[in-house]
Amino acid sequence: MNIKRIFGVILTLLGIAGLIYTAVLLSGSMNGGNVKTVAIYGVLGAIFFIAGIGLVRTMKDEA
């Protein structure tokens, strides 16, 4: 198995976890929560997710 593909899967899973955590923070912060924290987790989650998907898509399957 290719190391870049494994790293891409790990980045994708971290991105999904970050986006889910952002959604949880966002749903709990409707009454004066910290918007800066939500934005940071959301941006990092999106970056990890996009980078992971990009790595997985660009890797060719080699037997």
What is the C-alpha separation between 40 and 44, in angstroms, rounded? 6
What DSSP character marks residue 32?
Answer: T
What is the C-alpha separation between 18 and 42, in angstroms, rounded? 7
What would the DSSP string read from start to end of 10-30?
HHHHHHHHHHHHHHHHHHH-T
pLDDT of 3-40, one tens digit each? Answer: 888 899 999 999 999 999 998 888 876 655 678 888 89
Asked whether the whole model's pTM tops 0.85, one would answer: no
Residue-level pLDDT at 63: 57
Residue-level pLDDT at 44: 95
Higher pLDDT, 58 or 12: 12
Higher pLDDT, 62 or 26: 26
What is the C-alpha separation between 42 and 36, in angstroms, rounded? 10
Residue-level pLDDT at 2: 80
